[in-house]
Chain A
Amino acid sequence: MAAISWANLLVGLCLAPLLPGVIARTKALFAGRRGQPLAQLYLDLWKLLRKGAVYSSVTTWVFRAGPVVGLAAAVAALLLLPLGGAPAVVAFDGDLILLVALLGALRFFLVTAALDTGSAFEGMGASREMGFSALAEPVLLVALAAMARGTGETSLSGMFGATIPGEWATQPHAMLLIVSALFVVLLAENSRIPVDDPNTHLELTMIHEVMVLDHGGPDLAFILYAAALKFWLLGALLVGIVVPLREIPPALAAATAVAGMALLAFAVGVVESCMARLRMSRVPQLLVGAGGLATVALMLELVRS
């Protein structure tokens, strides 16, 4: 069992940078372009890792710590993540809170590094990132709490284990609500389109991009890789609920989960192609709506008992 967990971890580490490529190709498909290669992010990472880093003289160790600690937090969170019904490498009661905390640590160090540059732009991006995350994080926690209540387990590996098909049979509405809330969280936390447009380079509209303007070389590679891992993390939670296949061999289950991730990236690409970015003042409305969905799901699970 441990072998399949480590294999799943390796799959996550290797395939996470593929998903942004899938999203970009989907958008290109919709726009009638050929698009960048699927492996573009791997090439970018390779290019950046070979470069040297330039540090502004006003920055301190906080600026250099940001990308490193961020990547470490993302990898640590990946250790807690079950994939395709197989348990995670590390699992204990209440590890869902640690997962959210690690995502919070990733964000905190990224934001402090952005603030450390002293640039007005980066401060603005940092403030927005924190503002929207403050709304998205409770949604994630409440959705996971609803899952925990429904399955009676408080570790992620237990929650996303064998009980998922039974949950779909008994509480389909609650599960649907959880899935939609998690999808909004996925879009918001990864700065995808209804919340932030990852393609823009207008300083007034971007959130995530603006925070990493002063990073270069290996630091930027770490940040991009950590962002891809974050997408993989939140996506795997969603796929773990949506693909309720548990009675098949672990290797096949992992393969279906990876296929599910590719489909999820495709879905995100479709959303990005069909929607415009929301006005900045409307984003909290979207997140509060997702919070409403998650809370209703939690209420449904509470009433069932």
Chain B
Amino acid sequence: MFVLDIISSVLLVAGVFFGLSGAIGLFKFPDFFTRVHAASVTDSIAAILIISGLLLQTSFDLNTAKLIFIFFFLMITSPTASHALAKSARHGGLLSMAERKTSDNSNTQENQH
């Protein structure tokens, strides 16, 4: 079981790394959409890695089934939440960085004419 322990701890550490990088991205990235992107993508991979790491620690009993259920629901709900968040922001009229730049440029060009 020694090999399994090593694989599981590598998976757990990798999961923690991705989770942490997502948190840093959430603070450092410049605007709303990049932040949501950072948080949601790393969240999913961190959940995959951490739950697979924990799965290797179980001895194929009820806990395994529970972890698989948690995995299944996280895979559905967490991307949905990010999608809903970003879509509501679009709906509310928030522009992405590229779009803001082009609209700024066209505004200044109109002013120059």
A-B interaction: no
Interface of A with B (CB < 8 Å)? none
